[in-house]
Amino acid sequence: MKRFLAVIMLFVVMIFPGCSSSRKIETAAIIENVSVTKEHGQLYYTFYKLSSDEKPHKTVIPASSFEDACRLAKEKYIPHLSLAKLRLLLVHIDLKDRVMQDDISYISTQTYFSPVAYVALCDGEALRRVGDSPGILSTVEEKLRLCQKNHPSVKLDYLSIFNSLQRNSTEGVEIAYINSDKELKTDIKKIFRKMS
């Protein structure tokens, strides 16, 4: 019995991928925020890495979709990319129809995303502030929670946005919009299901 178990254990230790394929904490690039903007007709996905530094660590990746951006990020820019702790996906207001649905649709097919991460629309200035100011992420989250408290019909996370889009083709789905009129403010915008 003991010999049998010993052989099994030895075999397992030898062939188990173990430490080699693990997502080590010290090397993992844990992304907590992604923003999507458009300049000169090109979509840019900015990945904000979790860090204690004053200035946010960001990587800007030009890509045609979130799926493409994730693939490129892993291949070229951030080899130890981890999206499991993604808390916020910020999309430029102008891209709400083009990006929003495709990206949320992609996210819903992936295992490693948390389905309850927040999704919001932003104006250009708000996105710039998120990129420059430390600690603004928590402020944005607070604003979003407050928005949902005041408007219960607003869908904040991509689980509820996806589900609402799936079942509602005519009325549209209310989602949060962050604008930067002097200070960050939340508003409501409607998006409609793209007819295939």
Partner 1 sequence: MHREIKYSSKRLMLTLMLCACSVILLQNNNVSPENSFTVNLLCMLGGMAVCAVMFLPAVILKKRCDTDFLALSEKITPKLKIPLASVYSLYFVYAAAYFLLPYTDMFCEKYYPGASPCVIGLCVLAACVYAAYKGANIITRFGIFLFVFALVTNLLMFGGSVGSLDFANGSFSLETDFDAAASTFIYFCAPSFIAVIYACFAGDTENFKLKQPFLALLFTALKYALVLFFVTFSVGAYAQRQDYQTFILSRVAHFDLFGGIESFFTALATMSVFMIISMFLSCINKCTGSGGVKNSAVFSVIIFIVSFTAEWNNSVKEFFTNDLILIIFTAVVAVLIPLAYIFTGRKNK
Partner 2 sequence: MEDTLSKIKLSLSKMFSDSADLTVRDIILKSNNKLKGAVITIEGLCSKDELAQSVLNPLMMYDFGGQTPDEAIETIINSVSGSCDMIEFNSTQELISFLTSGFAVIVLDGCEKMLATGVQGYSYRSVSEPESEVVQRGAREGFTEPLRVNMSMIRRRIKNPDLVFEQMTVGTESKTQIMICYLKHCASPLLIKKLKKRLEACQLPTVLASGYLSEYLEDKSTSRLFSGVGISERPDTVCGKLTEGRIAVIVDGTPAVIIVPRLFVEEFQGVDDYSNRSYYATLIRLIKYLSFFFAVFAPALYVALAQFHPEYIPTWILIKTSESLAVTPLPVTLEVLLITFVYEIMKEAGLRIPKSLGHAVSIVGGLVVGESAVNAGIISASTLMVVATAAICSYVTSPLYPPVTILRVVLIVTAGIAGLWGIVLVTAVTIISMCSKSSLGVPYMSSLSPFSLRSMRDVFIRASWKKLGSHTIRVQKFPETEED
**Cα angle, residue 25 at apex, residues 19 and 31 outer, rounded to 5°:** 125
Task: Please give the residues from 26 up to 45 whose contact with partner 1 meets the rule CB under 8 A.
Answer: none
Secondary element (H or E) of residue 141: helix 136-150
Q: Name beta bridge partners: 191.
A: 173
With a CB cutoff of 8 Å and minimum separation 6, the contacts of 51 are 57
- Let me know if 7 is exposed, middle or buried by CB neighbors in 10 A (0-12, 13-18, 19+): exposed
Among 130, 162, 178, 184, binds partner 1 (CB under 8 A): 162
Contact partner, 11, from partner 1, partner 2, none, Cβ < 5-8 Å per class:
partner 1
C-alpha–C-alpha distance, residues 30 and 26, integer Å: 10
Per rule CB under 8 A, count of chain residues that contact partner 1: 25
Contact partner, 170, from partner 1, partner 2, none, Cβ < 5-8 Å per class:
none
Contact partner, 160, from partner 2, partner 1, none, Cβ < 5-8 Å per class:
partner 1
Q: Specify the 3-state DSSP secondary structure of 75.
A: helix
| Six-digit token string for 95 | 């891209």
Instruction: Answer yes or no whether residue 13 interacts with partner 2 by CB under 8 A.
Output: yes
Q: Name beta bridge partners: 188.
A: 176
**Cα angle, residue 159 at apex, residues 157 and 160 outer, rounded to 5°:** 75
Contact partner, 25, from partner 1, partner 2, none, Cβ < 5-8 Å per class:
partner 2
CB of 192 to partner 2, least distance (A): 33
User: Helices 158-167 and 99-107, interaxial angle, to 10°?
Assistant: 110
Task: Please give the residues from 163 up to 182 whose contact with partner 1 meets the rule CB under 8 A.
Answer: 163-164, 166-167
Among 25, 52, 111, 170, binds partner 1 (CB under 8 A): 111
CB of 179 to partner 1, least distance (A): 26
Instruction: Answer yes or no whether residue 5 interacts with partner 1 by CB under 8 A.
Output: yes
Which positions touch partner 2 (CB under 8 A)? 12-13, 16, 18-19, 22-28, 30, 32, 50-52, 82, 84-85
